[in-house]
Amino acid sequence: MMNFQGSHILSVSQLDREAIARILQVAGQMAPYALREKRCHVLDGAILNNLFFEPSTRTRVSFGAAFNLLGGFVRETVGEENSSLSKGESLFDTAQVISGYSDVIAMRHPKMHSVAEFAEGSTVPVINGGDGANEHPTQALLDLFTIQSEMAPYQKGLDNLHITLMGDLKHGRTVHSLSKLLSLYNNVKVTMISPNALQMPDNVISTLSNAGHEIVVTDKIEGNLACDVIYQTRIQQERFASKDEADLYRGHFSLNKEIYQQYCKEHTVIMHPLPRDSRPEANELDTDLNELDNLAIFRQAQNGVLVRMALFALTLGVDEKLTQYEKPVTWFTNKQARK
């Protein structure tokens, strides 16, 4: 079993099935705290530094909320222009300094492998919140947690899954990390729908095919959505040379209720790492899908809190101590009703 305590979480390549099972198990144990049934202050006094050098809503805020839910303090730097990186300071020097102020660091950066470079200078665990088009390991873990929980009512799991990945598979770091994790499971079929110019990178396809998985690469929706899970993604405009270039691909694979009912199975679950691009020219997941129970996108985003709580508990070595540090909730909450 991987020794989580003190470890950086930089890539899904660090994880095997046993390590993933442990993360997802601890994530499940976090539900009573996230639902405000109880409080847990096992990280009382600990400090998370959230360093986000690229825009983020879910990842940044859920890392912070996860740490707060375990009783810790959160400090944030948002935007490189607000950091001395903009004065020429290296990632290594920044890491040496910030890790002196922290117990753990979560970081997002636009450059591939930059979080690993930063971690070399850090004296505390660093968790990758997305490094350019490379990886987004915590998203992939919350995606697995979501697939597992959404498939459970149908007596299915991560083995024998048929998933369709759709959209910008070239630049979408979430589908890169998720595919690598799926390569660890058995008999997975992966349908990849994208414009030809935005196909999944060869190394990711090789990882899946070397695991013996069936792969279908196509640029057509018709006939390719009868799967267990559709994982829609956004055209990653920030990875293109210009907006005009990104516009060439926007709106090719919009999914709405009519297309869902025509091509999907009765219980096909719809996922998206979010943000979904809801502008008319993109409309990746039409709002008419909101009425479907199988639209899992907001449950998926909530699961990010559980998985990130689990990663903090594991890397800081408190995963066995949660119940010793519980307290009652004293304020009004309706989160339990929404469970």
Taking CB under 6 A as the criterion, the residue among 29, 56, 218, 237 binding ligand CP is 56
Nearer to ligand CP by C-beta: 71 or 273?
Answer: 273
Q: Which of residues 274-303 bind ligand CP (CB under 6 A)?
A: 274-275
- Helix 173-182 vs helix 137-151: crossing angle, to nearest 10: 60
Q: Which is nearer to ligand CP, 132 or 273 (by Cβ)? A: 273
Short-list 256, 189, 197, CA closest to 228: 189
Cβ proximity to ligand CP: between 148 and 236 the closer is: 236
Strands (E), 32-117: 39-40, 47-52, 73-78, 104-109
Radius of gyration of the chain (CA): 20
Rounded to a whole number of angstroms, the minimum distance from the CB of residue 275 to ligand CP is 6
Residue 228 CB, shortest distance to ligand CP, in Å, is 21
Task: Give the integer Cα–Cα distance in Å for 339 and 332.
Answer: 16
CB of 329 to ligand CP, least distance (A): 27
CB 43 within 8 A of CB 70: yes
For ligand CP, the closer of residues 40 and 297 by Cβ is 297
The residue within the footprint of ligand CP, chosen from 57, 84, 287, 323 (CB under 6 A), is 57
How many residues bind ligand CP (CB under 6 A)? The answer is 9
Which of 8, 58, 170, 308 touches ligand CP (CB under 6 A)?
58
* Binding piece for ligand CP, criterion CB under 6 A, among 34-42, 90-98, 99-107, 267-275: 267-275
Instruction: DSSP letter for 186, please.
Output: S
Least gap, CB of 130 to ligand CP (angstroms):
6
Whether 169 and 194 have beta carbons less than 8 Å apart is answered as yes
User: CB of 128: closest distance to ligand CP in angstroms?
Assistant: 11
Backbone angles phi, psi at 40, to 5 degrees: -135, 130
Query: 139 and 59 in contact (C-beta within 8 Å)?
Result: yes
Scanning residues 189 to 248, which ones bind ligand CP (CB under 6 A)? none
Give the integer Cα–Cα distance in Å for 192 and 202: 12
Tally of CB atoms within 10 A around 131: 26
Decide: is 71 part of the binding site for ligand CP (CB under 6 A).
no
Restricted to residues 73-132, the positions that interact with ligand CP (CB under 6 A) are 130
125 or 129: whose CB is closer to ligand CP? 129
Of 129-188, binders to ligand CP (CB under 6 A) are 130, 139
- How far apart are alpha carbons 82 and 67 in whole angstroms? 23
Q: Token pair of 220, please?
A: 């057509």
The interface region with ligand CP, picked from 152-160, 161-169, 238-246, 272-280 by CB under 6 A, is 272-280
Give the contacts of 283 (CB within 8 A, at least 6 positions apart).
Answer: 251, 254, 256, 277
Q: Closest distance between ligand CP and the C-beta of residue 301, in Å?
A: 7
How far apart CA 23 and CA 100 sit, in angstroms, is 27
Which residues sit at the interface with ligand CP, rule CB under 6 A? Answer: 56-59, 130, 139, 273-275
